Amino acid sequence: MGFKARRDHSLQNVPLIGYQDSADAQDIVLWAAHKVTEIGDTDENGILKVKNRPIIDMTHDLVIDNEGIPRERLIDGKDVIAQTSGGNKLYVGKVQGNIGEIELFTDEERTTSAANLINVKVEFYTLQHLQVDEEGRLLVAGTGGSGEVTIPEVIKIQGYNGVGYEPFRIADTVKYMNITTGTETTVWTPAAGKSIVLQGIYLQSKVRKTGWMLPDADATVKVGGTTILTVKLAGMLHFSETGTDTKPSVYVHDGEFQGETINLGQGIKFGKDQSITVTTDGTPLTAFFWGLEI
């Protein structure tokens, strides 16, 4: 499903949430509500012009519009908080969200205009662009008068490791090896001073035997000499039917090689300079490890 723009149906025509039909990935614009504070002077009619565009607070006064969507139609004092430079409350009248104009009064009945006041303070929610760059990083953007997007800040996506926060990890290293000996085989040795962040393991048996006894491969995985995994993988049963002298031999395969996948998500970080090794019982085994070094 694509994205398309949805807007308030009042005269203020305030954008509320966005999606666009049949959009390419580069056309998708995401929005986030952001609370802002502005200070300015009212004119002779009690109108305060603001740089950001006020939007509707959807938590109150909902009505059902002609598309069956519940939304509030008017921006009012529940959406905009205003006060004088001395901290006295001002009352909000008509808000022109599409052009950034807020009408203010000094009384609750809204009969006395808050004209020619200096350093009036207002708080309200506005919309700001959210974008994702080519590396998948979330960007916060603002729009200027020309509509050009500026990128003031990059939000780092991090995860808590029990002590502090670490960046979101994407595997950039895959180690692969066919293991056929019964001795311990090193699969991954990190660069000097680096630690392996192991994000996944795939082990597959390559044992093929004749007869009726299902073969298996035993695999032990160690990091820095410490066993972290022991697994038994079933192989493939392979037998022959010789038939008669006039019938050629027929080879029959029963079953398939068993594989085992261990997904470690964001990974387990091991100590510096610790290698990953695999030991088998001497039967063929294929081993894949993926992650990164930090």
Tens of pLDDT, residues 248-265: 444 445 556 778 899 998
Report whether 217 contacts 206 (CB < 8 A). Answer: yes
Instruction: Report the alpha-carbon distance of residue 131 to residue 10 in Å, rounded.
Output: 28
Instruction: For the chain, give the mean pLDDT.
Output: 75
Q: Which range, of 50-64, 77-91, 148-162, averages the lowest pLDDT?
A: 148-162
Question: What residue ranges of the chain are covered by domains with CATH 2.60.120?
Answer: 173-293
Q: Is the pLDDT of residue 83 over 70?
A: yes
Mean of pLDDT values over 97-117: 92
What pLDDT, on a 0 to 100 scale, did the predictor assign at position 187?
94
pLDDT digits (tens, 9 = 90+) for 21-42: 444 444 445 667 778 899 999 9
Q: What is the CATH number of domain 173-293?
A: 2.60.120
Find all residues with CB under 8 Å of 150, minimum gap 6, and list them: 141, 142, 143, 144
List C-alpha distances in Å: 270 to 184, 203, 231, 294: 19, 20, 21, 10
Q: Map tokens 């000996």 to a residue.
A: 181
Give tens-digit pLDDT for 192-205.
999 999 999 999 88
Neighbouring residues of 101: CB distance < 8 A, sequence distance ≥ 6: 47, 48, 49, 50, 95
Beta bridge partners of residue 222, listed in sequence order:
227, 277
Task: Give the Cα separation of 145 and 143 in Å (integer).
Answer: 7
- Do the Cβ atoms of 108 and 91 come closer than 8 Å? yes
